[in-house]
Structure 1
Amino acid sequence: MDKQTLGITVCREKALKKIPPFYEAPYFLQLAQEGKKWGIEVFVFVPMDINWRERTVSGWTVQSHATWVKATKPLPSLIYDRCYYSNQKQFNEYQPYIKRLRTDPQIHLLGTPLKGKLQTFDILKRNDNLHPYLPPTILYQSAKEVFLFLEKYRGALVKPNGGSHGRGVAAILPQSTGYQIRGRDQMNRPMSRHIKSKEELTSWLNSFINHSRYLVQPYLSLYTPDRRPFDIRILIQKNEQMQWEITGMAVRTGKPQSITSNLHGGGEAVSIQTFLETHYSRQDIASILSQLTRISQQVPQTIEAYHGNLVELGLDIGIDQHGRIWILEVNSKPGRTIFIKTGELELRERAVQLPIRYAHALLEQ
């Protein structure tokens, strides 16, 4: 067993016509360069390529000139799961392989991936201190749930239980002439349409959701004064002392009249200090930062208590037009692009260093 190798699992992306054939290669290259300082080799592989009889695996490693080369190596004892699933079919395809890695007694996964959004919210609800920050969330079973939310709130939001990057998220807003629908389809394309009746809305929901696992939440007014949607991304990671720390915070703003601020959907990034100073008073900023810090301390501990070991989390936080703070999403495989886009390269560098330092601490054990 190779004790000084950090394995990274990825999904095989057949559509990519480049070498190496997986997403996040620039991030993994930075991990490899950081790993060299600690005597750790980074080895990227697809779980399906493991030879369990010989406990070897074919994958990719980085040569000295920052080029990726194919190799076959002993199956690493320490593995960082960065598989991103583009749809439910791909998720189902990979799960038996990920489960085998997770249950192998000779393998330590850096963190157990979170399940769906609803399961994560159910865990967070067990912490009374987090209750004020959790929007009401139920599983979509029929259009009936949406109509209940439309009666109780100013609008409803439907989103996939396991989706990412804003795909398949839609806001449903009542109007005097029916319902306005705005959001992004399953291909992450902007959509907007007007529906005249309950019957037509029911038919649209059945077609849009199409037996997928979806959630219903109130539609929250998470906008700047000029009607740009925004949210705050907080990156929390374990350090070499195996303690949680807040690596950084940044703000994503979407296009005017959009309902999502995701960077994959055309959003922009700005430093949190710049954003807050533009839109809030000094007193409000102090209160917001205090609450964000408190949430960032409570969420990882709560999830680990009921879910199991984690290495990092991305929190998406919203602030509505009344100044109330909401936890929108928790992601166990957060990206780091936002810190490049804000120009905060020292935060990006820290975000790369911590997984390697945490891995090194585990290998030393």
Structure 2
Amino acid sequence: MAKRFRLERVQSEKSLVYLPANFDENKILSTIGFGSSECQAEFLQQPNGRNVISISSKLSKELHLPSHIETIHVFTKDNCLHLGPLIGIFSSGFTPFQVRPIGERSFLFSKILSSQSAAGVVPFLFGDGHIDWEHGLINAYFFTDKGWEQEIVPFPNVVYDRLPNRRSEKLKVSKEIKERLEKDYLIPWYNPGFFNKLEIFEKLYNTPEAEIYLPETAPFQSFHQIEQMLSEHGQVFIKPQNGSLGLGVYQIIYDKKNGAYYCRYRDQQNKLQRFSSLESLAKVVFAKRSLDRMLVQQGIYLIKHQGRPLDFRVHANKDEKGEWIISAIAAKMAGNGSPTTHLNNGGEVKTLEEIYPDEQNQKLYREKLEKAALILSNALERQIGGIVAEIGFDFGIDRNGDIWLFEANSKPGRSIFSHPELREVDLLTRKLALSFGIYLTEQTFENPEELFR
């Protein structure tokens, strides 16, 4: 089992490792490893009984151990003491500029990498152009007190997938790197792949405990299908199967009393249009829009705050024990006239406490949302290939207090953390995304056949 220690270097041209005072592994150690690097070493007990691990400057250099790392986990396998885990965060869109090496996302990655100390891991950022296959090294980006820096490191213990979009994920070079690191180097790759909204619902419909959270959802077939769903539910949403940020989402509402159809959508600005028939709505709104690869979803009559509909973002993460936990919950309030609660459509983030000032209601709905997210996380993990470590759920709560799943996101956005009261859970979610690498690294040493079967 991994143990965390403070790490220090001592000046020496010998290959020395001083083990912490309470390091009680009953093994004869002869080598030390960091990522894919291993060196012969002499192991000694700390002479003054301190509970830190010290390695000589010679070993630090040979292992390519970054100089700014001060806390680290220790794993033992056979006669080797492994330091780490070394976590490679794989992405694309790099620039030649040191100040912003990955463009607008540099700030996001600086925050993730800054969670190193809290998690006790060694994370770095890299892309396809930073890999030296011949020598098994990577020209990695680190974010330190001095800003962005590059250092040469060995291949990592695990890779955390942070490709920004489906296009980059489908690139031949991205697929080849993933396949080569997994198959040739047995390096686990976690959180691969963006979810297809329709496929997620199809998989969950086969899971009895998940079905209760699922609104009727199906691929778009015809406006006759829309008419039937409107007759049954009163409103429907039409949305892209692979969309994000609330783009291309249409809400259609049928007013039985007046026999009118309303369509709410965003076209540079939020729009609401009234029609006398579904046929006239289709001709105007969808005349120049293809409905291929769209899905149709039952609309839910949501609870409101200040007269505006609400949904809830719930983040689920795997921790360093490999178990699902709920790391963040926030409410999102729709912008005026918007079909979605996204911030770019005028939405606002609220805490659960702001929506439910009464502590009993806070507790009730927190427990309901957490229960739904945990059930769905475990169900999706069983149904989806690859190693899933984080999911962002968008839930609705209807007027009866029932929970409904709208979407599950494998690479959830972080807009909810703009709320000042959510800074603490912002750090928690970033830490957990890295801490899961500890569990995966343990599994590569203890149960590799489970990971790579």
Structure-2-length-normalised TM-score: 0.69
Query: 325-334 or 260-269, which moves further after superposition?
Result: 260-269
Q: What is the aligned partner in structure 1 of residue 383 from structure 2?
A: 306
After superposition, the Cα gap between the structure-2 partners of 1:213 and 1:18, relative to the gap in structure 1 and judged at 3 Å, is farther
Alignment of structure 1 residues 186-335 onto 2, 5 Å: 189-204=269-284, 206-207=286-287, 209-210=289-290, 212-224=292-304, 226-277=306-357, 282=360, 285-308=362-385, 309-335=387-413
Residue 179 (structure 1) aligned with residue 261 (structure 2): yes
Q: Distance in 1 between matches of 2:351 and 2:112?
A: 24
Q: Distance in 2 between matches of 1:96 and 1:214?
A: 29
Over aligned residues, Cα RMSD in angstroms?
3.1
Q: Distance in 1 between matches of 2:86 and 2:284?
A: 50
**Could you tell me which of 88, 92, 95 is aligned with 1:7?**
88
Q: Distance in 1 between matches of 2:288 and 2:324?
A: 39
Q: Distance in 1 between matches of 2:423 and 2:305?
A: 29
Q: Distance in 2 between matches of 1:4 and 1:40?
A: 5
After superposition, the Cα gap between the structure-2 partners of 1:248 and 1:37, relative to the gap in structure 1 and judged at 3 Å, is closer
Query: 97-106 or 226-235, which moves further after superposition?
Result: 97-106
Q: What is the aligned partner in structure 2 of residue 354 from structure 1?
A: 432
Asked if structure 1 preserves the Cα contact closer than 8 Å seen for 2:336 and 2:346, the reply is: no
Asked if structure 2 preserves the Cα contact closer than 8 Å seen for 1:47 and 1:98, the reply is: no
Q: Distance in 2 between matches of 1:184 and 1:299?
A: 30
Aligned partner letter, 2:240: P
Query: 325-334 or 261-270, which moves further after superposition?
Result: 261-270
Deviation of 1:68 after TM superposition, in Å, equals 1.9
Deviation of 1:34 after TM superposition, in Å, equals 2.4
Asked if structure 2 preserves the Cα contact closer than 8 Å seen for 1:230 and 1:260, the reply is: no
Aligned partner letter, 1:301: N
1:245 partner SS: strand
Query: 334-343 or 308-317, which moves further after superposition?
Result: 334-343
Aligned partner letter, 1:83: L
Q: Distance in 2 between matches of 1:53 and 1:331?
A: 36
Deviation of 1:71 after TM superposition, in Å, equals 5.9
Query: 139-148 or 129-138, which moves further after superposition?
Result: 139-148
Deviation of 1:131 after TM superposition, in Å, equals 1.7
Residue 108 (structure 1) aligned with residue 188 (structure 2): yes
Residue 128 (structure 1) aligned with residue 128 (structure 2): no
Q: Distance in 1 between matches of 2:160 and 2:314?
A: 20
Alignment deviations for residues 86-124 of structure 1 (CA, whole Å, 9 cap, x no partner): xx6x25743762475157322311223353011111222
Aligned partner letter, 2:379: T
Q: Distance in 1 between matches of 2:376 and 2:407?
A: 11
Deviation of 1:226 after TM superposition, in Å, equals 3.6
Q: Distance in 2 between matches of 1:72 and 1:204?
A: 57
Asked if structure 2 preserves the Cα contact closer than 8 Å seen for 1:229 and 1:259, the reply is: no
Asked if structure 2 preserves the Cα contact closer than 8 Å seen for 1:229 and 1:258, the reply is: no
Asked if structure 1 preserves the Cα contact closer than 8 Å seen for 2:219 and 2:295, the reply is: yes
Q: Distance in 2 between matches of 1:134 and 1:259?
A: 19
1:277 partner SS: coil
After superposition, the Cα gap between the structure-2 partners of 1:37 and 1:325, relative to the gap in structure 1 and judged at 3 Å, is closer
Q: Distance in 2 between matches of 1:114 and 1:192?
A: 31
Deviation of 1:150 after TM superposition, in Å, equals 2.2
Asked if structure 2 preserves the Cα contact closer than 8 Å seen for 1:8 and 1:80, the reply is: yes
Aligned partner letter, 1:129: E
Q: What is the aligned partner in structure 1 of residue 108 from structure 2?
A: 27
After superposition, the Cα gap between the structure-2 partners of 1:216 and 1:33, relative to the gap in structure 1 and judged at 3 Å, is same
1:293 partner SS: helix
Q: Distance in 2 between matches of 1:330 and 1:23?
A: 25
Deviation of 1:166 after TM superposition, in Å, equals 0.8
Asked if structure 1 preserves the Cα contact closer than 8 Å seen for 2:314 and 2:392, the reply is: yes
2:357 partner SS: helix
Deviation of 1:228 after TM superposition, in Å, equals 0.9
After superposition, the Cα gap between the structure-2 partners of 1:112 and 1:203, relative to the gap in structure 1 and judged at 3 Å, is same
Residue 94 (structure 1) aligned with residue 177 (structure 2): no
Deviation of 1:161 after TM superposition, in Å, equals 0.8
Residue 363 (structure 1) aligned with residue 363 (structure 2): no
After superposition, the Cα gap between the structure-2 partners of 1:17 and 1:255, relative to the gap in structure 1 and judged at 3 Å, is farther
Larger radius of gyration, structure 1 or 2? 2
Structure with the bigger percentage of strand: 2
Aligned partner letter, 2:143: V
Deviation of 1:290 after TM superposition, in Å, equals 3.1
Asked if structure 2 preserves the Cα contact closer than 8 Å seen for 1:232 and 1:318, the reply is: yes
**Could you tell me which of 416, 424, 435 is aligned with 1:338?**
416
Deviation of 1:307 after TM superposition, in Å, equals 0.9
Asked if structure 1 preserves the Cα contact closer than 8 Å seen for 2:85 and 2:122, the reply is: yes
